[in-house]
Amino acid sequence: MELTYRPRRLRRTPALRALVREHHLSPSDFIYPLFVHEGAGNEPIGAMPGACRWSLDGLVAEVGRAWELGIRCVVLFPKVADGLKTEDGAECFNEHGLIPRAIRRLKETHPDMTIMTDVALDPYSCDGHDGIVSAEGVVLNDETVELLCRQAVAQARAGADLVGPSDMMDGRVGAIREALDGEGFEHVGIISYTAKYASAYYGPFREALDSAPRASGGKPIPKDKSTYQMDPANGREALIEAELDEGEGADILMVKPGLAYLDVIYRLRQESEQPIAAYNVSGEYAMVKAAAERGWIDERAVVLETLLCFKRAGADLILTYHACDAAAWLRQG
């Protein structure tokens, strides 16, 4: 065959492939999600093999392990006791609550680790929604935003470096930015869940936090979060959300879930100069773990390929439960 250009020339050896590789993974790309609870021990999460609800002592040890592997950011999610859950989720801004105490403990023991938090009501709500549910069964936007601002300030006061509003209420990024600045926390960044979809991939996460929507007090409770999270059918809408979040002061934009929404990550990368994060969510993690346990896939190969694909789509940062495993595999080469 008389071919002028043969792409296989640059695939012939490992050294040649490495030479022209377009994207690379590093442990510093990862944000490691961690669940924390009030118990004295660590509790394995059935739907997420390898993941735990960490005690405060266990959390400190796990964050230390992550740091040694080269991970430089963790995000904290609380398993809140049922007795502390209320319709307004007021425990979310208790400055002596679980997350503020966890932040302070980590800043004492691992001061250089970047601490990200979750800003939403669902772990604290007896209704299981990210916002206040009215007597008529409507998730209230503006009333919820007021509480989210108080939550973000409480987390910042405890020492959070980044707050992550995951609730998808309209206008919350700007309100949180104003609240943080007003309390002297101009240095605290906002990593906004910009395009968070009403996805079926979140099931294991809701088991981990016991935070799924549920009937409460006889009032109607929306069975899902589709009135405030995005419709999985929509891609262009993500650009609207991104423009709004940027204008309101978001420092980093996030797409959640990640794997089934690579096109959305790519769209945001083409339209925005802001850092883009992808959330490799619990359902994606659980599917890989389940297949690997059955010997159907090579876990290491699939995980590293998946994470690399987030980078190729345009993500700068990846929230992933695989973070420590992936960091260790990258170190091994």
Q: Dump pLDDT digits (tens) for 44-96.
A: 999 999 999 999 999 999 999 999 999 999 999 999 999 999 999 999 999 99
147 in a domain, yes or no?
A: yes
294 in a domain, yes or no?
A: yes
Specify the pLDDT at position 77: 97
DSSP tag of 230: B
82 in a domain, yes or no?
A: yes
Residues labelled as active-site residues: 196, 256
Specify the pLDDT at position 216: 65
Q: Which helix (H) or strand (E) holds 256?
A: strand 252-256
Specify the pLDDT at position 261: 98
Which domain, by its residues, includes 134?
A: 25-332
Q: What's the rounded mean pLDDT across residues 294-323? A: 98
85 in a domain, yes or no?
A: yes
5 in a domain, yes or no?
A: no
Q: What's the rounded mean pLDDT across residues 318-331? A: 98
Q: What are phi and psi of 278, to 5 degrees?
A: -120, 135
Question: In this model, does residue 219 exceed pLDDT 90?
Answer: no
DSSP tag of 272: -
- Mean confidence (pLDDT) of the chain: 95
Query: Which CATH number belongs to the domain containing residue 249 in this structure?
Result: 3.20.20.70
Within the chain, what is the greatest distance between any pair of CA atoms? Answer: 77
Specify the pLDDT at position 217: 65
pTM score, two decimals? 0.95
Q: What's the rounded mean pLDDT across residues 93-120? A: 98
Question: In this model, does residue 210 exceed pLDDT 90?
Answer: no
Position with higher pLDDT, 111 vs 214:
111
7 CB neighbour count, 10 Å cutoff: 7
Q: How many domains is the chain built from?
A: 1
Question: In this model, does residue 292 exceed pLDDT 90?
Answer: yes
Question: In this model, does residue 208 exceed pLDDT 80?
Answer: no
Q: What percent of the chain shows pLDDT beyond 70?
A: 99
24 CB neighbour count, 10 Å cutoff: 10
20 in a domain, yes or no?
A: no
9 in a domain, yes or no?
A: no
Q: Give the whole-angstrom CA distance, residue 281 versus residue 33.
A: 10
Q: What's the rounded mean pLDDT across residues 15-20? A: 94
What tokens appear for 240 in the block? 């609207």
Q: Give the whole-angstrom CA distance, residue 164 versus residue 252.
A: 9
Question: Which conformational region is residue 314 in: left (phi greater than 0), alpha (psi within -120 to 50 degrees), or beta?
Answer: left
215 in a domain, yes or no?
A: yes
